[in-house]
Amino acid sequence: MRAAVVGTGYVGLVTGVCLSHLGHEVVCVDRDEKKIENLKKGILPIYEPGLQEILEKCAEKERLFFSSSLQSAGGKDFLFIAVGTPSDEIGRADLSQVEAVVEALSRLELVEDLLVVMKSTVPVGTCIWAETFLKEKSRRPERFRVVSCPEFLREGTAVDDFIHPERIVIGAEQEGDARKVQELFAGIETRFVLTDTRSSELIKYASNAFLATKISFINEIAGICERAGADVKEVARGMGLDSRIGEKFLNAGLGYGGSCFPKDTLALIYQAEDLGYDFRILKAVAGVNEGLRKRAVQKLERLLGGNLQGKKIGLWGLSFKPGTDDIREAPSLTLIQKIKARGGEVTAYDPLVKGLSAAGIDGMRYADDPYGAAEGADAVVLVTEWEEFRKADLARVKKAMSGNVFLDGRNVFDPLEMKGLGFVYEGMGRGTGGEMS
Ligand SMILES: NC(=O)c1ccc[n+]([C@@H]2O[C@H](COP(=O)([O-])OP(=O)(O)OC[C@H]3O[C@@H](n4cnc5c(N)ncnc54)[C@H](O)[C@@H]3O)[C@@H](O)[C@H]2O)c1
């Protein structure tokens, strides 16, 4: 089949390349001409394991193309919308990118039917709005129908998630449309959830909100553990063995970040509000998450004698989670800003992220490895749990530092071992006897 994918970010590019891998002819469209020029040369704008290899194979077989013009969507059977839906200034979903694509689509002179597939995470009712808009504005209203097919991939394992998804959700007002989209994924073994567009849109938000809730819940338990002298890792292990709870997303630490959870939880709070519903749990979830970085900086201050003025901090990890170069809403950003505002100096190391000017943070030092970040530091703070940090030679780290404080923001290390190595070690919720924040 022939498909166009609009937006070549994490979702669009993975979707386009993987659909082509399934045997379809795909054109990936983006308004960013530089990105498209690079993609034509095989240069990826993002890091995603396995993507480069598949892209090269599909391009070689001449079934994967790149274009900066939406005109190239003409003559296709499907058009995926995979553009960004960030938060606006107050936290609602900013739909301007989606609206711009739908507007441009309405001006296409279509000679064949086009099924528009909404991959972007959009508030309930957006697919119905898009279809109504296209029917009202297009000169060929009968050609368009809009279905929802939200994306659940995880950055860092996105290709594998596309090929082995736990489910594919398709929301359509007509079952035939849902079946057509299902056919596109022929060859993928999974469970399909065929439903209406509104439920489909809400499945995406509800899933992210639930996972965020799990994370904030365990972080609240971590707060209790610190006061009670218990270890949240032990508590989570015991809880997670209950199959009704499950062990995933029970890691206490610096909370969730990234391009989805923070914005999707806020967007759902506002959608509820617009519908006259007060989503109290989710408001608390977002509030708890926001407080975690403050809690970490307070710990650091306490561990360093009360203030951070002139203190050298080695920061391990900048991306919002391991396995990706994405720094959107990464805890590292808030921590760095807070440390710098208190007069501390930061030297950071991340295996993939080599600069933060894209996030508006300048005047930072970057090291070439974890030891370089620890060199002369009063404290090391582990922010992102990359494998490289787990394997670090901690005795060498200790030797490189001028101080001995280690704040483990992801509870990666064993408190007793760290103390044995001479660190003043603290994790998040590990009952190490520290004062409470
Ligand atoms: N990143 C994730 O892990 C993830 C997972 C699931 C769902 N989602 C959702 O998928 C959507 C896309 O996310 P992303 O992370 O890939 O976004 P992104 O910001 O990385 O990429 C969006 C791309 O769309 C392009 N674009 C914007 N407007 C355009 C237009 N009018 N025409 C052509 N191209 C245009 C941008 O140039 C950019 O390359 C969002 O709604 C997001 O919430 C993301």
| Spans of all domains in the chain | 2-195, 210-426
pLDDT at 110: 83
Percent of the chain with pLDDT over 70: 99
Closest ligand 1 atom, residue 158 Cα: 3
Per-residue pLDDT band at 73 (split at 50, 70, 90): confident
CA–centroid distance, 119 to ligand 1, in Å, is 9
Structure tokens at 317: 């990890």
pLDDT at 74: 81
Q: What are φ and ψ of residue 193, in 5° steps?
A: -110, 105
What residue ranges line ligand 1, CB within 6 angstroms? 6-12, 29-32, 35, 82-85, 97, 100-101, 120-121, 151, 153, 155, 259-260
**114-142 per-position pLDDT tens digit:** 999 999 999 999 999 999 999 999 988 88
- Helix, strand or coil, per DSSP, at residue 225: helix
pLDDT at 433 over 50: no
Closest ligand 1 atom, residue 120 Cα: 41
Give 357's contacts (C-beta < 8 A, 6+ positions apart).
none
Question: How confident is the model over 241-254, as a mean pLDDT?
Answer: 97
CA–centroid distance, 261 to ligand 1, in Å, is 14
Number of other CB atoms surrounding residue 406 within 10 Å: 29
pLDDT at 43 over 60: yes
Whether 28 sits among the annotated catalytic residues: the reply is no
As beta bridge partners, residue 170 has: 194
pLDDT at 437: 42
Which of 2.130.10.30, 3.40.50.720, 3.90.230.10, 3.30.300.30 would CATH assign to domain 210-426? 3.40.50.720
Q: Enter the pTM of the model.
A: 0.94
Question: How confident is the model over 4-10, as a mean pLDDT?
Answer: 97
CA distance 264 to 15: 20
Q: Do 2-195 and 210-426 agree at the fold level?
A: yes
Closest ligand 1 atom, residue 11 Cα: 16
Structure tokens at 50: 């396995």
Q: What are φ and ψ of residue 424, in 5° steps?
A: -90, 100
Q: What average pLDDT is seen over the chain?
A: 95
pLDDT at 432: 54
pLDDT at 91 over 80: yes
Which protein residue has the closest C-alpha to ligand 1 atom 1?
A: 10
DSSP conformation letters of 179-211? HHHHHHTTT--SEEEEE-HHHHHHHHHHHHHHH
Per the CB < 8 A criterion, the answer to whether 58 and 20 are in contact is yes
Percent of the chain with pLDDT over 90: 93
Q: Of 18, 127, 149, 260, which residue is the catalytic one?
A: 260
Which protein residue has the closest C-alpha to ligand 1 atom 37?
A: 32
**373-413 per-position pLDDT tens digit:** 999 999 999 999 999 999 999 999 999 999 999 999 999 99
**146-182 per-position pLDDT tens digit:** 999 999 999 999 999 999 999 999 999 999 999 999 9
pLDDT at 434: 43
Top CATH class of 2-195 equals alpha beta
Of 393, 387, 394, 381, nearest to 426 by C-alpha is: 381
CA–centroid distance, 84 to ligand 1, in Å, is 3
pLDDT at 17: 97
